[in-house]
Amino acid sequence: MNAEPCTYVIFGATGNLSRIKLMPALYHLDVANQLPSGTRILALGRRPWDQEKWLSEVRDMVVAKAKDDFDEVVFKRFAERLQYHQGDIVDPACYSSLAEVLSDKTKFARNIAFYLSISPADFGRVMELLSNNHLFNEDEGWRRVIIEKPFGYDLDSARALQKRISHYLTEEQIYRIDHYLGKGMVQNVLVFRFANVMLEPIWNRNYIDHIQITHSEELGIEGRGDYYNSAGALRDMLQSHLLQLLTLVTMEPPASMEAESLRDEKVKVLKSIRPIPREAVHGHAFRGQYASGHVKGAKVNGYLQEDNIPADSMTETYASMKLNIDNWRWRGVPIYLRTGKRMAKAQSTISICFKHPPLQFFRDTSVHCVDQNWILLGIQPEECIRIEMTVKEPGLEMKTRTSSLDASFRNEDEKAIDAYEDLLLDVLKGDRSLFLRFDEVEYAWRIVDPIVQTWADERDYIATYPAGSWGPEDSRLFEKSAHTWRSSLTPECK
């Protein structure tokens, strides 16, 4: 698919996401000569900035990310693509002026992508106003809308939002973004699984004991108190990013990498996840909130002391879950997911634990217990694929240890590409394979909805954990006493 010139209209252009991700990603696409000529970026923001101020702001955003790689010549070219448009996105007047600006064919490409980096509460209204001003009219070029997560607040609100926006847009025009799908190592999960013939025969309930997916952060809520307190870890990370990782690790091979095939398989897995009845929520989900503690040696506040957080907040900053997939491949293999802010280490990993080998072979030796094999997929910050095997220790005795086969995929001179670069380019190409279809979002909400509802009702107790720790004691989730959270990518001695 070829990228076509387009006008990117960024709603919320002065906000955090645009600053740290979108503008740097667009600049890096320009560095890589991936932005078709004629591509323009129209930034929409409330602040009364003129063009000069906007250019200097964008320059700061880009320099902060590119650091020593900042290229004055490319930035000059990039700056020519930029324009600032002041307006309040809930004010109808903003849209007539926007329509007028965009009607200048000498300046703006006819294809338009609207990137909504705004409060989810405003999605519906903004689309209505865009539609009222004929900005979704495709007579002269395509119109695509990129929507940031969370798509809805629970199952009902996601359906209501979908119903509302489908008045204005077709499914083909909607790009629901989950930036995890743009991460190189996340895409590598598919290649690792489906381009290596030795894995498929063992990738199932006959060989795999359980799977863990961990996303932990050292950071806290970083000034996003208002949003975070209404979302919490379950909605913010688990319903979206972690369930997406789960689908990629567990889905059946798709017919092709084409969007619908891929999404069909992801939906099939989500549909096969055993629903959690309200009365079983405590056995399947756990929540916690960070108290004060130390992260990287520095003392940090607890969640309740963060700005804009009510003193009696019950919002979880840690959420963990056990899921079961009731299909032929996975029945009986528990999948554990956990995510938390202010934890001991920042990392995202998928850890696949294999069953114990039969041990009779070792019965007259000093080997009484052999470690299970693991496959470890490090998503970030360390991108790696490791297969842990048991080997004999050198020497006269029959002793074993764990050795790790490393199939990490990036050489030192190969730079990591930010997820947003890949996804912003896919929008220009019209490739929706790494964006979510509504039924994916809907089934993901179905899975977490009983937990969302139960936690909303039960407002008397939430476990706490010291900032800088691995989270609260939630071992009640584990199906077997031998199961524990795996936090490291190097062999763990038992």
Active site amino acids: 241
- Least distance to ligand BG6 from the beta carbon of 412, Å? 22
Q: Under rule CB under 6 A, how many of the chain's residues touch ligand BG6?
A: 3
Instruction: State the maximum Cα–Cα separation within the chain, in Å, rounded to a whole number.
Output: 84
**CA 26, CA 32: separation in Å to the nearest integer?**
10
As a whole number of Å, the CA-based R_g of the chain is 24
By the 8 A CB rule, do 33 and 111 touch? no
Q: Judged by CB under 6 A, does residue 217 bind ligand BG6? A: yes
List, in sequence order, every beta strand (DSSP E) within 46-142: 82-86, 112-116
Q: What pairing do the DSSP bridges indicate for beta strands 384-392 and 400-406?
A: antiparallel
Per DSSP, what are the bridge partners of residue 405? 387
Binding mask 462-491 for ligand BG6 (x = CB under 6 A): ------------------------------
- Least distance to ligand BG6 from the beta carbon of 40, Å? 27
Measured distance between the N- and C-terminal CA atoms of the chain, rounded to whole angstroms = 50
395 Cβ contact list (under 8 Å, min separation 6): none
- Least distance to ligand BG6 from the beta carbon of 270, Å? 19
Q: Judged by CB under 6 A, does residue 440 bind ligand BG6? A: no
Beta carbon nearer to ligand BG6, 11 or 84: 11
Beta carbon nearer to ligand BG6, 173 or 380: 380
Binding mask 162-201 for ligand BG6 (x = CB under 6 A): ----------------------------------------
Question: Count of alpha carbons within 13 Å of 346, Cβ hemisphere only?
Answer: 8
Q: Which two tokens stand for residue 19?
A: 């600053």
- Least distance to ligand BG6 from the beta carbon of 178, Å? 8
Beta carbon nearer to ligand BG6, 160 or 219: 219
Nearest to 130 by CA among 171, 87, 82: 87
**CA 400, CA 357: separation in Å to the nearest integer?**
14
- Least distance to ligand BG6 from the beta carbon of 236, Å? 5
- Which phi-psi region, left, alpha or beta, contains residue 233 (left: φ > 0; alpha: ψ -120 to 50)? alpha
Beta carbon nearer to ligand BG6, 75 or 465: 465
Instruction: Please list every residue from 344 through 363 that binds ligand BG6, using CB under 6 A.
Output: 348
Binding mask 232-271 for ligand BG6 (x = CB under 6 A): ----x-----------------------------------
Burial of 468 (0-12, 13-18, 19+ CB in 10 A): buried
Beta carbon nearer to ligand BG6, 209 or 236: 236
Q: Looking at beta carbons, which residue is closest to ligand BG6? A: 236
Q: Which two tokens stand for residue 404?
A: 């790790």
Beta carbon nearer to ligand BG6, 219 or 369: 219
Q: Judged by CB under 6 A, does residue 383 bind ligand BG6? A: no
- Least distance to ligand BG6 from the beta carbon of 342, Å? 11
- Least distance to ligand BG6 from the beta carbon of 293, Å? 18
Beta carbon nearer to ligand BG6, 217 or 442: 217
**CA 6, CA 3: separation in Å to the nearest integer?**
9
Helix (H) or strand (E) holding 337: strand 335-340
- Which phi-psi region, left, alpha or beta, contains residue 111 (left: φ > 0; alpha: ψ -120 to 50)? beta
Q: Which residues sit at the interface with ligand BG6, rule CB under 6 A?
A: 217, 236, 348
